[in-house]
Amino acid sequence: MAESTSPKKPAEDDPSAGRTGDQIIRLDSEREQRRGNVVIDNDGLEAPAALAPAALEAPAKEPRAQPAPVTVAPPAPAKPKRSLTRPVLFALLPVALVVGGYYYVTGGQVMTTDNAYIQAQSLGVSTDVSGTVQEIDVHENQAVKKGDVLFRLRPASFETALAAAQAQLGTVRNQVLTLQASYQQSLAQIEQAEADIPYYEAAFQRQQDLLKTSTASKASFDSAQHDLVAARQKVAVAKSQAQATLAQLGGDADQPVEKNPFYLQAQSGVDDAQRNLGDSVVKAPFDGVVTNVDALQVGKYLPASQPAFSLVSSTDLWIEAEPKETELTYVRPGQTATISVDTYPGAVWHGTVASISPASSSSFSLLPAQNTTGNWVKVVQRIPMRVTVDDAKDKPPLRGGMSVVIDVETGHTRGLPDFVTNLLNRFGQKS
């Protein structure tokens, strides 16, 4: 066994003193398990930990007394390296505060609300005339264009009414032509009566002269005088008849028949009958999608002005939003907005704030809140706001009732907090 240069400890300090070999080996094994670096073999030499089991098994086969082992001091622990995490975190903290403060001061330009929905123009399709449904030309949820036929009413009654109105128009036309002819006849009668007056005047004058000389009788004079008066009265009657006829012709005998009041009245009857016939064929007033078509069936009698089914516009769309009153501080009509629809993640539309309601939504309710009463509780109100969609073309289809999120660019930054602004103002006044 090699001699150790380490100084030996006193016997009272040696834990192996007075112990048997097995006890000494057991103590060495426990010490090795605690230390984990080296073990002491049977000869008192250091051995690797991997060889410890073999060294421990040998005494079991041939136990013998072991000399006092040499205690080996554990190696000094290595000095840990100083971590850079804490200095880096302390260095990044002010940077993060500066960056966060900058974004806080320069932010707040966008007003965002998710209390917004798509609205679309909708119409209950109806007609001005009553009739029986003869044909339905669309089906449920079909997209239609403006002017497409939706359904037809039975046209027989409307065609009959149109024929009667056209016949009445022809009768009135003939009556107008007759009045024009009567007027011309009255003018001729006036000319004839005026041409007879000089003759009757001469005859009257002759009888008057003869009566003075007692050549003519009193009867002849009276007859001549009567004929003259009758001739003059005939002219007056003819002129009156001409005036009455001219009045029926609208004051203008040379006026075209189509401009005569009687003709225009009859023509309006024809137009009305033609309109009723046209209304029996119901067409789409705008582009959209028809719905609830199954409510209308062929053979059903449809009263005038009763909606048959609905037509929802696919082009006249807008956003109806109701942000809080505290969010509308810097929102103005004409500002641009970004629209995100929940149905189409990633798709973005652009719009413009069209208008802002002059009153809150609760103001138009059936029973508005009486905030002046004693049981008043303050509640943040919502103000309706309408946003138009500017680029709906070539985008996914929008439908009424879809939920959207609106970001309105107000252009007003948040700025410094009030207490900081007041503090700076105080320093400015002192300086």
Same domain, 264 and 347: no
Same domain, 192 and 236: yes
pLDDT at position 1 is 37
> Poorest-confidence range of 58-62, 217-221, 411-415?
58-62
Which residues share a beta bridge with 407?
112, 338
Same domain, 269 and 330: no
Higher pLDDT, 205 or 176: 176
Residue whose tokens read 């000319």: 191
Does the residue 197 lie in any domain?
yes
Which domain-ending residue is among 275, 299, 326?
275
R_g (Cα) of the chain, nearest Å: 58
Whole-number average pLDDT of the chain: 80
- Specify the length of the chain in residues: 431
pLDDT tens digits for range 276-326: 999 999 999 999 999 999 999 999 999 998 999 999 998 899 999 999 999
Does the residue 128 lie in any domain?
no
pLDDT at position 54 is 44
Q: Indicate if the pLDDT at residue 178 is higher than 90.
A: no
Does the residue 81 lie in any domain?
no
Mean pLDDT of 238-251: 80
Assigned token pair, 166: 């056209």
Domain that holds residue 50: 1-75
Q: Indicate if the pLDDT at residue 222 is higher than 80.
A: no
Same domain, 181 and 263: yes
Same domain, 247 and 164: yes
Query: Between the CA atoms of 177, 180, 186 and 189, what dihedral angle is there, to the nearest 10 degrees?
Result: -70
Does the residue 425 lie in any domain?
no
Does the residue 126 lie in any domain?
no
Helix (H, G, I), strand (E, B) or coil at 220: helix
Q: What is the CATH number of the domain that holds 411?
A: 2.40.30.170
Does the residue 238 lie in any domain?
yes
> Poorest-confidence range of 58-72, 84-98, 186-200, 342-356?
58-72
Does the residue 165 lie in any domain?
yes
Same domain, 269 and 315: no
Assigned token pair, 112: 């965002």
pLDDT at position 301 is 94
Does the residue 244 lie in any domain?
yes
> Which percentage of the chain shows pLDDT scores above 70?
78
Confidence of residue 385 (pLDDT cuts 50, 70, 90): very high
Confidence of residue 180 (pLDDT cuts 50, 70, 90): confident
Same domain, 181 and 230: yes
Same domain, 57 and 165: no
Which domain-ending residue is among 19, 48, 75?
75
Same domain, 67 and 169: no
User: How many separate domains does the chain show?
Assistant: 3
